[in-house]
A and B are shown apart, each in its own frame.
Chain A
Amino acid sequence: MSLQSLDPRVNRLHLPENPSEPVAKTELDQLETYEVFHQKKENAAYTYVGPVHAPNEEVAFLFGKEQYSRRFACTGMWVAETRHVMVTPYTDEAVSVYDVIRINQENAMENGEKTAEAYEIFHLKKRGKAHAHVGTVTATSYEGALAEAKKQFGEMKPVVNVWVIKAADVFRSEADDKDIWNTTKDKMYREATAYRVMDKITKFKEEQAAK
């Protein structure tokens, strides 16, 4: 006998009434994690919105768009694999992280053998808020990028945490694809403002009173 439901769609699944023990999910059944950053309006800093699980950056991009921009204004998106983000320690809110971290000068030194490349720098101003992009630096390593970030952005206060990502590891939306961020007018049904409940209640009460 299969499980009986009020929902014909469930009945069509022919689910067993007494199922076997479920098997535990294996590692990575839910795929890898990516971190997503949105630009809320033109020229605004890219800001962290949250993670997604995806098999590759293209799918992560689609999930990030659906999950985080479906209901909020957005004009651009960046996605990076979680493991490509270098994270500093978190500090107390009264202290700048740049004043606490010790940067290994040797590692940070310009390394002639490695070619310099761009790194994106993100600051967290307050615990519980979101990391925001502050700028791009050029360096030959993550540590070098952090040292350079301290020079360029160290005076910005407060900074409780810094993320560093190689610019090449960031998957970005294209300026030419701007149209993908538009929401059509006919989707008003998912806005609270589309429901004029009070009008209906007032009319109902007037009718009741008139009776």
Chain B
Amino acid sequence: MYGGGNIFEATKFDDLTTEDPVKLAEFEARIARGEKIEPNDWMPELYRKQLIRMIEQHAHSEIIGALPEGTWITRAPGFRRKMAQMAKVQDEVGHAQLLYSAAETLGKSREAMLTDLINGKSKYSNVFNYPALTWADSNTISWLIDAGAIVNQMANAKGSYGPYCRALDRICAEEAFHLKYGHDAVVHLATGTPKQREMIQAALNRWWPPIMTFFGPSDKMSTHTETLVRWKVKMATNDECRQQFLDMYVPKIWELGLTVPDPKLHKNADGVWEYTEPDWVEFKEVINGNGPCNKERLAVRRSAEENGAWVRRALLSPKAKYVKPLA
């Protein structure tokens, strides 16, 4: 995965009046020329704030997203699948490392980000507040949640912030394996025994509603983002991402003889997909802490942090001094 535009919201007001107009013009000209912004460059506060928030949420989504799939490592059918599932989960945790470092270059420490994850101040992708009930659910996440994430990450990799782009280039390269691995696992079940087909269809039915919310509220509901688009922070709208995802993956679901649990879902003659509007009330409810797994996800993360604390304390050199990563 896992993310980006999924939960990221723009701040309500683009107040740039307090920024130095000359520096702001230089900054905007650099982005317009297609040059990347690097950590030591002057940047408007709004740019810094939005990027920290977006990259931090993306990082949290990676480590929390490792939990539902991690659950299935020990119970994956067969040794090869256990190894592959483990490799994928390890990649996701590695993605979190890369992203935390990219966010750190903007001035928020990793300690502060992890604290805000555990105390619930920062969000992560809402889909991980749902459980992976069966092995088929895990496969559905590996294929379709990662597919959604790739749509997002490929768009963001063309953004304007250098460290985020460098991290995303590495991440996207690794996602190629995730997507193939997930697709292969789903195909295996879908082309298997009637029982296996039933399992994957049930998982798909459970996961479709969260998947449809993955890219975040519809454009009609989102606050204005023109400034963030001009600054190449937001590279595609939520609905554009959702349309691209549907266009790429619904045919791949259908060709396996599986169905999508949305009677309204179809592609119009003009190429635009129509679908039942996701339940944004439930989305809000879950993202604010009341989903089936919110408590567990944070508790597990917190226990990992707390149980490892003594090791980090023992290793810390008294001469250590924090310097934010360079790039």
A3 contacts the other chain (Cβ, under 8 Å)? yes
Distance in angstroms between the alpha carbons of A167 and B84 in the assembled complex: 39
Distance in angstroms between the alpha carbons of A33 and B118 in the assembled complex: 22
User: Interface stretch among A106-114, A136-144, A200-208?
Assistant: A200-208
B265 contacts the other chain (Cβ, under 8 Å)? no
Report which of B41, B162, B299 forms a contact with A3, defined as CB distance below 8 A.
B299
Report which of A21, A24, A30 forms a contact with B110, defined as CB distance below 8 A.
A30
A48 contacts the other chain (Cβ, under 8 Å)? yes
Residues of A within 8 A of B184 (CB): 195-197, 200
Residues of A within 8 A of B104 (CB): 33, 51
* Residue among A17, A22, A27, A55 having the largest count of chain B Cβ atoms under 10 Å: A22
A169 contacts the other chain (Cβ, under 8 Å)? no
Within 8 A of B (CB), among A1-47: 3, 5-7, 9-10, 13, 15-17, 19, 21-22, 24-33, 35
Within 8 A of B (CB), among A163-211: 163, 187, 189-192, 194-197, 200-201, 203-205, 208
Residues of A within 8 A of B223 (CB): none
Interface pair B115/A200, CB less than 8 Å apart? no
A123 contacts the other chain (Cβ, under 8 Å)? no
Chain B, Cβ-Cβ closest to A196: B184
Report which of B183, B302, B309 forms a contact with A195, defined as CB distance below 8 A.
B183
B317 contacts the other chain (Cβ, under 8 Å)? yes
Interface pair B180/A127, CB less than 8 Å apart? no
Interface pair B323/A22, CB less than 8 Å apart? no
Distance in angstroms between the alpha carbons of A131 and B166 in the assembled complex: 11
Q: Closest CB of chain A to B96's CB: distance in Å? A: 11
Interface pair B112/A25, CB less than 8 Å apart? yes
A53 contacts the other chain (Cβ, under 8 Å)? yes
Secondary structure at chain B's binding surface: helix, strand, loop or mixed?
helix
Report which of A15, A25, A33, A68 forms a contact with B303, defined as CB distance below 8 A.
A15
B20 contacts the other chain (Cβ, under 8 Å)? no
Residues of A within 8 A of B299 (CB): 3, 15-16, 19
Interface pair A90/B326, CB less than 8 Å apart? no
Distance in angstroms between the alpha carbons of A85 and B312 in the assembled complex: 24
Residues of B within 8 A of A152 (CB): none
* Residue among A83, A128, A200 having the largest count of chain B Cβ atoms under 10 Å: A128
Residues of A within 8 A of B257 (CB): 208
Distance in angstroms between the alpha carbons of A6 and B300 in the assembled complex: 13
User: Interface stretch among B30-38, B213-221, B239-247, B282-290?
Assistant: B30-38
Interface pair A70/B94, CB less than 8 Å apart? yes
Contact with A along B73-116 (1 / 0, CB 8 A): 01000001001100110110010011001001000011110110
Q: Closest CB of chain A to B162's CB: distance in Å? A: 4
Residues of B within 8 A of A135 (CB): none
Q: Closest CB of chain A to B208's CB: distance in Å? A: 20
Residues of A within 8 A of B80 (CB): 189
Interface pair A204/B191, CB less than 8 Å apart? yes
Count, chain B residues at interface, CB 8 A: 74
A87 contacts the other chain (Cβ, under 8 Å)? yes
Q: A52-B97, A190-B84 are in contact. Are A204 and B256 (CB under 8 A)?
A: yes
B165 contacts the other chain (Cβ, under 8 Å)? yes
Q: Closest CB of chain A to B302's CB: distance in Å? A: 6
Report which of A19, A30, A128 forms a contact with B312, defined as CB distance below 8 A.
A30
Residues of B within 8 A of A7 (CB): 71
Distance in angstroms between the alpha carbons of A104 and B87 in the assembled complex: 51
Residues of A within 8 A of B162 (CB): 127-128
Report which of A6, A21, A129, A187 forms a contact with B133, defined as CB distance below 8 A.
A6
Distance in angstroms between the alpha carbons of A17 and B112 in the assembled complex: 24
Interface pair B97/A67, CB less than 8 Å apart? yes
Give B contacts to A, CB under 8 Å. Answer: 30, 33, 35-38, 40-41, 71, 74, 80, 83-84, 87-88, 90-91, 94, 97-98, 101, 104, 109-112, 114-115, 118-119, 131, 133, 162, 165-167, 170, 173-174, 176-177, 179-181, 183-184, 187-188, 190-191, 255-257, 295-296, 299-300, 302-303, 305, 309, 312-313, 315-317, 320-327
10 more CB-based (< 8 A) A-B contacts, given A10-B296, A35-B325 = A3-B295, A19-B299, A21-B119, A22-B115, A22-B119, A56-B315, A59-B315, A92-B35, A129-B166, A192-B181
Question: What are 23 residue pairs bridging A and B, where the CB atoms are less than 8 Å apart in the complex?
Answer: A3-B299, A10-B296, A13-B303, A24-B112, A25-B112, A25-B114, A26-B111, A33-B101, A33-B104, A48-B327, A51-B327, A55-B317, A56-B317, A71-B174, A130-B327, A161-B38, A190-B84, A192-B179, A195-B184, A200-B184, A201-B187, A201-B255, A208-B257
